[in-house]
Structure 1
Amino acid sequence: MAKTTFLTFISSLCCFLGVFHLQITHAQIVIGKPVLEFTQACANDTFNSFTTSFVFSPESGVETSNQFLIELSDATGSFNTATTVFTSNPGAITASPANVSFSLPMFTAGEEYKIRIKSTHPEAVSASSNSFAAYYKIQDSPFTINDLTATAVFCPGGSYLLSIDNPGTGDNDSPLQYPSLTFNWMKETGPTTSVIIGQGPTLAVSEAGVYFAETNYGSCTSDSFSNRVTVSEATSEESADATIVSSLGNPFCSQEGPTTLQTITGNSYTWFKNGTIIPGATSQTYETESSGLYEVIVSFGSCEASGSIDLNTGDFTAEINVPETNLLESGETIDVLVTTNAIAPEFKWFLNEEEISGALENSFTVTEFGLYRIEITQTDGCVFTKELSFQVDEFTDPFPNVDKIPNIISPNGDGINDTWIIPIEYTSGTNSNVTILKRNGEDVFSTNDYVNNWPEDPLPFSDVNQVFYYIITPPDKDPIKGSITVLK
């Protein structure tokens, strides 16, 4: 009986191990090295799709929940910080070989990229692909250097400064607006040939020749290149050119701080603003945060070079069509309009520091009293905000048509009966004399041009209400006399 039980146990164990071995076998796949269906990956905003193929085995080892991934290395071919550029839907790829396409991230730039394939269920990874050049051409259009200058001259022993325009001229899409880009400076060696002689946003040249810049997209061809500048050495009868470059571009945002103007290297420097010498500005650079026409004269001893830049701070103007203080009668309105040259402006309106819901245009109809404030934000180019404000108060007629002379006032600041309001036949323009006296006969107020404004200053109070006396003397009429009780 025991022998039979032992044999049964061994048989069951063998079946279990067989099934376990079968499961392990099904849980393993091998993924082949991906084959590139392209020689180099040159992407831009209109094209960004590249195909690769790979094999895997056995097909039966892929689970229904499996996903295949494509990982992209860094520019040196390392997968330490790999980027996943493709993920299949679960169970979508079940047949080998497989063809899939992927897209490049926007800041891809280099000559030694690789890809590899990974699976999730079961987990497996392929060998890396062959190396390939990959660039996302974020800027792929012509741009300008030196404000489209065609020719330039440098002093013997000096140099001429070539510079990529930022943001450029007109609709120029300056590559300097894309911090991830790098640049090559080229010198023509023949009608169709050129060599790289420098890198960066500027280049000082001291040899005659034809120069231009291009965005560094490696072995990928592109349309991101500049105009040509023909540079020559000045003769004794020629004047030379001195480029001026703004470190923050032109225009620049003065709210971000001053920009530094830089020119070519020489023996001495004289800077001008709007035609006037700038005292103390005798260096190769000059720092400023204001607009204006800046010029420089660079001396090389026997030769001088001059240059200029019309610097713009990127500021904008804004104004409203109403004065700072406005009077509004109850039931009336004021149409307020903001005029501005801001680029793509946005507007916010506030009443007594509370934002007015839905008020997002450059015009607003005022119906309430209070302090209004408008925020105007330039949202393109130099992004910053300006504010305008105005006050709207309720209009009060200083000469209401009252029937009789009042004998009680309460100057407590509540806007009701604060001053002594008399009939208009005795007020300003009638040449009536209005005199107010204390109980002891002391004259405290007297005028022939009364504008319903007494008392002009706060009156001292004792424990009882004060009583004053008035005398109104119209022209060619008998005086009118009475008393005024001032309530606390």
Structure 2
Amino acid sequence: MKCRRPPTIFKAYQFLFLLLFLLAVNSLHAQFTINKPSLGFTKICANSTFNSFEVSFSFNPAGSLSASNQFILELSDGVGNFSTPIALSFTEKPNSATLSSRTFVFAVPITTGGENFRIRVRSTAPVATSPSSNAFAAYYKLQDTQFSINNFNQNATYCRGGSYVLTIDNPGTGTNDSPLKYPSLTFKWFKEPSLVPIATTPSLTVTAPGRYYVETNYGTCTSDSYSNRVIVSEASNTAAIVTSSKGNPFCPSEGPTTLSTQAGNTYQWFLNDVAIVGATSQNYNTTTAGNYTVRVDFGGCTFTGAINLVNVPFTSSLNVTGTTIIKEGETKQIVATTSANNPTFEWFLNGTLIPSATTNTFNATQEGNYSLTITQTTGCISKKEFPFEIRFPFVDPNVVLIPNIISPNNDGINDTWIIPQQYISGTNTSVVVLNARGEMVLNTTNYQNNWPEEQLDFKSVNPIYYYIITTQDNTIKKGSITVIR
């Protein structure tokens, strides 16, 4: 009779065999692992002048690499998928290798563009693959300069019920670097003020008025690859717009200015209501001032724009206007600012030339009626005159009452707080002025009827101040002062 092994013992052997097998497999796999790569950046914004980034990783056990081992650095697609990984070109960072870690310096391909790339590391001896890194945005900016749409024309018009097509210029004029020269690029169109893209194509069909522009899609990377803005209008609601390239007024001696209107189908320019022969383009160059009009056919509707083109030589200004009040013995520096070419300056006091004053600044110390004549000596030769007045504070010996209203508007009337002579300089009278918050704005025993010396705050319509006058014999006067414009 044969002796059979009990079933329970047989099952115990099976379980022991399976356990030993699993431990052996785990031991085999535990021999070498590559840990999750650590990124030396938060996002990749590469271009032709900068394309160098670092990634580090560790592995264990230390010193277990075969002499024939090769590391492979792989990049996912823009959504983190490794179904068709991209092998990255890299070098090992000098003096960074240890028995259990490496740091690689790599570059991304010029076709890179997306918000959720990942990196992983593979080894060949022993064979292992790391977990994928954290996700990151990565873009190679093939084109990173401003480009043009609508031939840099800032206005466009379409007829009611129609549309207008805005297109990225290719190649565009001058040094315009059109992003259409780079087929891998994508785009985002915007209608201001919204920051939500309305299209991603190289052109945009506009059916609603607004201000439009497009930028190259570099995601979260900052970029200079964007277009000029174009204001698109519906012709049924607006006339044609005319602009002058050299402004209006303009200077004919500097050469012609270019009159431009928005893009249409056909054009006809007029000067003082007379058609200009041959002026049938979107732009018209001229050095002649006058009333210009243009008739633009937008395809089914026609509108007219106009500009009264005038020539004026230059712009100038002074830091004073009208009447300026200064104390006797005080100096007021008058400064002229001008865009005139090679200007000359002539200063006059009461109609008499001041020979020594020949620069754009003049220190006025006397009362009187002044004027400055600025002459442009080259280009548009012409003159401009700027009159102004300097006055000392008015002291009326006949004032017997303390006024409660002043109007500091430099009109020479009631500009400062004029009080009776028994309280002003030389009487050793204390004069204190407080604002509505109780803050002291004046405290003197030598008052010269010159408050306020600086411009007051008109946040309220007519601010109110309070005064306290204390004479040498301790007589006190109190009241309010209302400041009006």
TM-score normalised by length of structure 2: 0.43
TM-score normalised by length of structure 1: 0.43
